[in-house]
Amino acid sequence: MRVSPYNQQILPFGVNIRPRLRLSEVERLIKLYKIVVPCPSRQTLIRMCEDGTFDTPGSPVRGSWQVYEDSFWKWAAVDPANALVS
């Protein structure tokens, strides 16, 4: 099994697994890395999921929005491997 950029696992036969982040984890990462200060509200983040800013697997899963990790890091324009926490 190989790992591509943004931690996407590439399995045999070209099957690609995309890790997901819950919206609460997205909030935590925005605050931790100070990507946007102040952190956008939960409603703003939900709106970003709905308008396609974040790539999501679809509607909320069990009432909780999920965002593909690579989509979040692309939006943040931060390489997770080189991100520094201050």
Is residue 68 in some structural domain? yes
In a domain, 12, yes or no: no
Interatomic CA distance for residues 65 and 33, integer angstroms: 21
Q: Based on the structure, what is the number of domains in the chain?
A: 1
Does residue 62 lie within any of the structural domains?
A: yes
Structural domain contains residue 4: no
Q: Is residue 6 part of a domain?
A: no
Cα–Cα distance between 24 and 22 in angstroms, integer? 5
Q: Is the pTM of this model over 0.85?
A: no
**What distance in Å separates the CA atoms of residue 43 and residue 60, rounded to the nearest whole number?**
13
Beta-strand ranges (E) seen in 36-84 are 66-68
Residue 7 in domain: no
Q: Domain limits at 66?
A: 19-76
Q: Tens of pLDDT along 1-55?
A: 444 455 566 667 767 788 999 999 999 999 998 999 999 999 999 999 999 999 9
Residue 24 within a domain = yes
Number of alpha carbons in the 13 Å side-chain half-sphere of residue 24: 2
Q: Does residue 11 belong to any structural domain of this protein?
A: no
